[in-house]
Amino acid sequence: MNALFLLAGLLLFISVLASTISARLGLPLLLLFLVVGMVAGEDGPGGIQFDDFGTANLIGQLALAVILLDGGLRTRTDTFRVALRPAGVLATWGVIATSGLLGAFATWWLDVDWRLGFLLAAIVGSTDAAAVFALLRNSGVRLSERVRSTLEIESGANDPMAILLVAVFVETLLHPAQASLGGFLWMLAQQMGLGIGLGLAGGWILARLLVRLTLAEGLYALLILSGGILVFAATNLIGGSGLLAIYVAGIVVGQRRNHATEHVLRVMDGLAWLAQAGMFVVLGLLVTPSHVLDHAPEALAMALFLMLVARPLAVAGGLLPFRYAWKEIAFVSWVGLRGAVPVVLAIVPVVMGVPDSKLLFDVAFAVVLLSLLVQGATIPTAARWLDVELPPKDEPTEWREVWVGREAVLNLLACRVAAGSDAEGRHPDELAAGVGGDARALAVIRAGRLCRLEPGLRLAIDDTAWFVAPASAADALAGACGGSAQNLGRNAAFFGEFSVDPGVAAGDLAAAYGFELEDGEAGLTVSALLLHRIGRPAVLGDRVRIGVVTLVVREMQADGEVSLVGLKCPWPGLSDAA
């Protein structure tokens, strides 16, 4: 027992230390977790013999449940405004189309029974929530809200379709006489209907309990975790999608901000990382690298076809009706990351005794490795090339919530003073008064020491100023303390040199800048003109080229209304409107 504990602790310890290497090399952290498991496995220096697919499946399912719960808690419902329908299409049609194209290719390339080829395609046909959540949130790239929301919602919601397709082809291989189209359609409806329904009900109950119960701080996260696992297991037992249910439950709980929210998010963040590290290390132990290398040519061809043909065609077919730009479609296609879900799904045929299932597992694992290595490592580069990256935004270096009642909260914001910022040389009280909103200076940290807020105190470079302020003042405070010349230049280059009131008549703006409008547009406001030309819900950074100028959505309110429009005159290198 102690040897097992020692081994588990050592592997996780090494995996966490490897995160520093990941940041320096620009490699996805999840890939390093896999590598640690492979190095410790039977083909590596560790020499650990581990081939218990049942235990690996158990660990994988539990870890995925924790990861999806954490992802749901951090998903904002306002992202649904711009991406729910297109992401829903990708989570259903996208998985079917990707699996269909890849299945036909796999059947031909591997020269296997068509049912086996399509089963392999179904295993790797869906994106992975763990990989998408981890890589998007730790890539350091500020993506367009439309693109980010589409990727996150799709990856959290496409598991039922992938599970269904795997079940369909396993059934056709093992019991072909019992397979029927009606049965499969009923299974899909059951998976998605029960997953969403029980997820909403379970999330509502947990959110109510979180508000009403008074517990020790550390127990709130355990309440949500245990309740989420209850929802996950109960949904699976009655034939629904437990992974979808726990994701939906997390979304519902995450929208009810209260005195326990911060404790829950902090603990769940650590548990999600533990789940990811443990799951990928175990999956790395399970695989035999020499067997994967034996199938390297087949896996490489499958991965290339998936990344360059099947996924792009499926995404284009799903997103073009929603008027996504080609660059947005290309980025969503490229970030179709494969991770733990395909490997866990590949365990199912092995456990159920499907012929040649080890071939499926080895090829699926190789495809995941290539996806993480190639796609995961190139997210920042792809975002810049495809112009879906927003300029960096000055944000508080720390943000703490102190709940002084069940519904009352104080926001503590920390901002680091940058060279040349508006804050340099000013008293923190003066800075707080300038942003309004009842902001108050709380403390100043200089060289690691607390400074007294005396009248003669002036903020200096690298000071950290703490404020008590409403959430609405966070951007203004961060901008006053940051606002480096480089950031200001990049913002001007992206959003434009001038700002326009969105309520101004479009006809007046056209007359002032000498560009022509289409019939009926002169009477619109500038914001209405933008929305008319975009033809979809607007997000920050949306651009429309009209004549010699470009109008850019510069600021938005929480309800999705455009509150400020940037106006950009011709600028070398600026791409045309989406």
List the CATH number of the domain containing 449. 3.30.70.1450
Mean residue pLDDT of the chain comes to 84
Residue 286 has pLDDT above 90, yes or no: no
Q: What is the pLDDT of residue 488?
A: 65
47: in domain:
no
Under DSSP, the state recorded for 547 is T
Residue 1 reports pLDDT greater than 80: no
Domain assignment present for residue 574? The answer is no
Mean pLDDT of 533-549: 84
Predicted pLDDT of residue 576? 43
Give the domain CATH number at 503.
3.30.465.10
The distance from CA 50 to its chain's CA centroid, rounded to whole angstroms, is 32
Q: 228 lies in a domain?
A: yes
Same domain, 289 and 249: yes
277 plus 306 within the same structural domain: yes
Helix (H, G, I), strand (E, B) or coil at 114: helix
Identify residue 175 by its one-letter amino acid code: H
Contacts with 471 (C-beta within 8 Å, 6 or more apart), sequence order: 411
429 and 377: one domain?
Answer: no
- Residue 114: pLDDT above 80? yes
Taking CA atoms, 121 is separated from 48, 169, 186, 290, 451, in Å, by 30, 10, 22, 22, 61
Q: How would you class 197 by CB atoms within 10 Å of its CB: exposed for 0-12, middle for 13-18, buried for 19 or more? A: middle
The tokens for 443 are 């403390």
pLDDT of residue 572: 44
Euclidean distance between CA atoms 455 and 225, whole angstroms:
48
Question: What's the number of domains the chain is made of?
Answer: 3
- For residues 578 and 125, the model is more confident at 125
Residue in the structure block whose two tokens are 């158990």:
58
Contact at 8 Å (CB) between 427 and 457? yes
pLDDT band for position 224 (50/70/90)?
Answer: very high
If residue 105 lies in a helix (H) or strand (E), which one and from where to where? Answer: helix 95-110
Examine residue 517 and state whether it is found in any structural domain, yes or no: yes
> Cα Rg for the chain, rounded, in angstroms?
26
Residues 58 and 90 in one domain: yes
Domain housing 360: 2-30+53-385
**Residue in this structure with the two tokens 């005195």, named with its chain if needed:** 259
CB atoms within 10 A of CB 522: 16
Whether residue 273 sits in one domain with residue 198:
yes
Query: CA angle at residue 223 from 231 to 198, to 5 degrees?
Result: 20
pLDDT tens digits along 544-573 = 888 778 888 888 887 778 888 888 876 444
Whether 41 is in a domain gets the answer: no
Describe the crossing of helices 29-40 and 2-25 by its angle, rounded to 10 degrees.
Answer: 140
Closest to 362 measured CA to CA, from 111, 127, 38: 38
Domain match, 348 and 467 both: no
Q: Kindly report, residue by residue over 248-281, the tens digit of the pLDDT.
A: 999 999 888 777 777 788 888 888 888 888 888 8
Query: Is 216 a domain residue?
Result: yes
Summarize the confidence of residues 469-480 as an average pLDDT: 84
Q: Looking at the structure, tell me whether residues 503 and 423 fall in a common domain.
A: no
pLDDT at 305: 94
My answer on whether 354 and 234 are in the same domain is yes
pLDDT mean over 38-59: 83
Residue 446 pLDDT > 50: yes
Q: Residue 382 and residue 49: Cα distance in Å, rounded?
A: 39
**pLDDT on residue 161:** 82
| Mean pLDDT of the 31-56 span | 82
**pLDDT confidence of 89, banded at 50, 70, 90?**
very high
* Cβ–Cβ < 8 Å for 241, 192: yes
Same domain for 248 and 320, yes or no, is yes
Is 65 inside a domain boundary?
A: yes
**Spatial strand order in the sheet of 398-403:** 398-403, 409-416, 464-468, 440-446, 449-451
pLDDT (average), residues 439-459: 88
> For residue 498, which phi and psi values (nearest 5 degrees)?
-125, 160
Q: Which residues contact 45 (CB under 8 A, 6 or more apart)?
A: 39
CATH label of the domain that carries residue 161: 1.20.1530.20
Region 335-350: mean pLDDT is 84
Residues 478 and 515 in one domain: no
Question: Which residues lie below 8 Å from residue 44, measured CB to CB, with a gap of 6+?
Answer: 38, 289
Residues 303 and 330 in one domain: yes
Question: At how many degrees (to 10) do helices 159-174 and 114-123 cross?
Answer: 160
Predicted confidence band of residue 359 (pLDDT cuts 50, 70, 90):
confident
- Do 328 and 450 lie in one domain? The reply is no
Q: Is the pLDDT of residue 25 over 70?
A: no
